[in-house]
Structure 1
Amino acid sequence: MFDSPLSASAYDVLGVEPTTDEDSLRRAYRLRLRQTHPDTGGDAAVFVQVQRAWELVGTSAARAAYDRGHGFADAPAPEWAGWRAPARPADTRPKARSHGQPGGWRRERYLTLIREWAGRGVTIDDPYDPALVRSAPRDLRRMLADALAEEATARVVSELGMGYTVWHDVAAPVRGGTGDDKLDHIVLSPSGLYAVLSEDFGGPVGVRRGELTGDGVPGTPVADLLARMRVLARAAGVRFGGAVIVLPDDDLVQAVTDLGRVRGTPVVLVARGALSNVLRQGVPGARSIGGNEIFDIRTRLQQAVRFV
């Protein structure tokens, strides 16, 4: 929740300045608990955020570590890795077949735009420095947050094994689109063929009439995903079994929400921690794939896929 470049800081959630004293911080926490408690008409997701914020800054030791790691202190934490892709331990188990670079397009755009925003002639020692990221405009922070979300989803899918094939950052230009239209991931599995959208809106997300809702949700993510699916389905001559939208665990009240059929396509909203189970068991209403059909679909996609 608070490790996202886009989400509010622990101090923002508690409604105080980072320089507030301990007594004021404690009073603010108790006030926010009362304001957000579900029994008094508050939002359950925000109530959880308030509790998590207090865990991060409620003691002197925890607060000092949080401040160093998130750019609220003069000295950065020496072991903190910023918003880089985490190092992965050696693992010899077979991985899913993977094509393309997850989050690569948005990473490159972020690095270009953060330097443009800083200004010509300004040297940026670390484009992922937490204080720099926190001060950047929302559209830049969103670019980085989405890249991180795509990388996190890719790590989950890679652990599913050799029976799965995944393509990342697949071009899917739609008429009247923005010029950067893409499918974050395409996953081919025995349970079905899925288009997967990885997002981080920086806060709680709900559903209304088959579409995502929330303060940080722009546009119509579900409708846009389905439109891009249709573009690639026509180009490759394949049929998707469903669509999966993956969000950070803390941003959803339920781990899995079945949106039913949206414009004829089964859609589920999934917390990242539940993604493996969903892809193994299948999206409700999706058709499983077996035998030579998997090889045929894989061949068609390999011939049709273009990366952004």
Structure 2
Amino acid sequence: MFDSPLSASAYEVLQVAPTADDEALRKAYRLRLRQTHPDTGGDAAMFIQVQRAWELVGSAAARAAYDRGHGFGQDPVHPDAAAQWSGWRAPAPRTDTRPRARSQGKPGGRRREQYLGLIREWAGRGVELPDPYDPALVRRAPLQIRRLLADALAEEATARIVADLGMGYTVWHDVAAGRHPDEKIDHIVLAPSGLYGILSEDVGGPVHVRRGELVGDAVAGTPIADLIAGIRTVSRAARVRFGAAIVVVPDDDVVHPIDELGKVRGMRTVVCARSALPRLLRLGVTGAREIGGNEIFDVRTRLNQTVRFA
């Protein structure tokens, strides 16, 4: 969670300055534990984040490594340290030969291109940046720019998970679902367990569901409603029936790995932790219709003929 361009740093979660000494850091950790503990009315997801923050900066060795990697050191980040940082860069091509899911489109491609254009405009002002993914640079960037990178990373993470499910799965990434370029479905997955529209979301902090919508301190707009609207657009155009809408979020941002919400706006909807997505796609969503035999080829053909990429 602390590798997200949107997330609070370990120091911000503990509500202490990066320059705090060890004793002040320890006191801040104990205070935040009391404040966030579920037994005293605190938020369970935030309680987990506090513990994770302490793991990252609670010892001298861990804190030094964290500071180097996230741009919190007193000295400028050494060029070698920036070169070793790979968490925010585009994933390297895979070299293994294991059977993988059929895949079309470029996950996170639109968001990553937008990020690179805006970060260079904001920080470089026409000059080529040595490293547009330098952690210190990213953390200083405006929220709008960091959100684009976070979206790209979330989409790429989901794409890797689905690809590893094997040849029985087909996935379309960055599918246009309206007239505006930003009206899109991050992923459409055709699986033996059903047909799903998926949103890969990362707002940098805990999220909850209230009245069928995703809510949280940094949640913008109505992500679940927008996902369902996009699914209906594609469903009508391709004449296919989706089994469910799935919102995938980082593991640390939710308490329950799989939260089936029932029907939201007439569509079965699930909020799912990223690590639980393979299990959900294999077993299916409660009430979603399985797709098998010749039907799976028919649905794939209809989508191939209809899908446009954002």
With the length of structure 1 as denominator, give the TM-score of the two structures. 0.96
- Taking the aligned partners of 1:55 and 1:111, their CA distance within structure 2 comes to 32
Residues 220-274 of structure 1: CA deviation (Å, up to 9, x unaligned): 1111001011111111111111111100001010000001011111111100100
Shift of 1:207: 0.6
Q: How many equivalent pairs are there?
A: 305
User: Residues 47-196 of structure 1 correspond to what in structure 2 (within 5 A)?
Assistant: 47-73=47-73, 74-76=76-78, 77=81, 79-87=84-92, 90-173=95-178, 179-196=181-198
- Taking the aligned partners of 2:92 and 2:115, their CA distance within structure 1 comes to 20
Shift of 1:57: 0.4
Q: Which residue of 2 aligns with 1:37?
A: 37
Report the CA distance shift for 1:296/1:70 in structure 2 as closer, same or farther (over 3 A). Answer: same
Residues 154-207 of structure 1: CA deviation (Å, up to 9, x unaligned): 000001111100000011116xxx541111000001110100100101000101
CA contact (8 A) 1:82 1:130 kept: no
> What amino acid is the match of 1:240?
F
Residues 162-171 or 121-130, more deviating: 121-130
CA contact (8 A) 1:82 1:129 kept: no
> What amino acid is the match of 1:157?
V
Residues 285-305 of structure 1: CA deviation (Å, up to 9, x unaligned): 110011111101100100101
CA contact (8 A) 2:3 2:87 kept: no
CA contact (8 A) 2:107 2:155 kept: yes
Shift of 1:88: 6.1
Q: Secondary structure at the match of 1:286?
A: coil
- Taking the aligned partners of 2:307 and 2:41, their CA distance within structure 1 comes to 48
Residues 5-14 or 235-244, more deviating: 235-244
Q: Which residue of 2 aligns with 1:275?
A: 277
Residues 154-163 or 35-44, more deviating: 35-44
- Taking the aligned partners of 1:29 and 1:122, their CA distance within structure 2 comes to 42
Shift of 1:82: 4.2
CA contact (8 A) 1:211 1:222 kept: yes
> What amino acid is the match of 1:102?
P
CA contact (8 A) 2:120 2:126 kept: no
- Taking the aligned partners of 1:234 and 1:240, their CA distance within structure 2 comes to 10
- Taking the aligned partners of 1:100 and 1:234, their CA distance within structure 2 comes to 21
Shift of 1:139: 1.1
Instruction: Name structure 2 gaps, 5 residues minimum.
Output: none
Report the CA distance shift for 1:93/1:179 in structure 2 as closer, same or farther (over 3 A). Answer: closer
Q: Which residue of 2 aligns with 1:253?
A: 255
Q: RMSD across aligned C-alpha pairs, in angstroms? A: 1.3
> What amino acid is the match of 2:198?
V
- Taking the aligned partners of 1:129 and 1:75, their CA distance within structure 2 comes to 9
> What amino acid is the match of 2:43?
D
Residues 29-38 or 3-12, more deviating: 29-38
Q: Which residue of 2 aligns with 1:19?
A: 19
Q: Secondary structure at the match of 1:212?
A: strand
Shift of 1:89: 5.6
Moved over 4 A (4+): none
- Taking the aligned partners of 1:165 and 1:205, their CA distance within structure 2 comes to 29
With the length of structure 2 as denominator, give the TM-score of the two structures. 0.95
Residues 259-268 or 117-126, more deviating: 117-126
Residues 81-127 of structure 1: CA deviation (Å, up to 9, x unaligned): 24113446632211000000000010000001111212524331111
Shift of 1:67: 0.5
Q: Secondary structure at the match of 1:153?
A: helix
Partner of residue 304 from structure 1, selected from 303, 306, 309: 306
- Taking the aligned partners of 2:205 and 2:22, their CA distance within structure 1 comes to 26
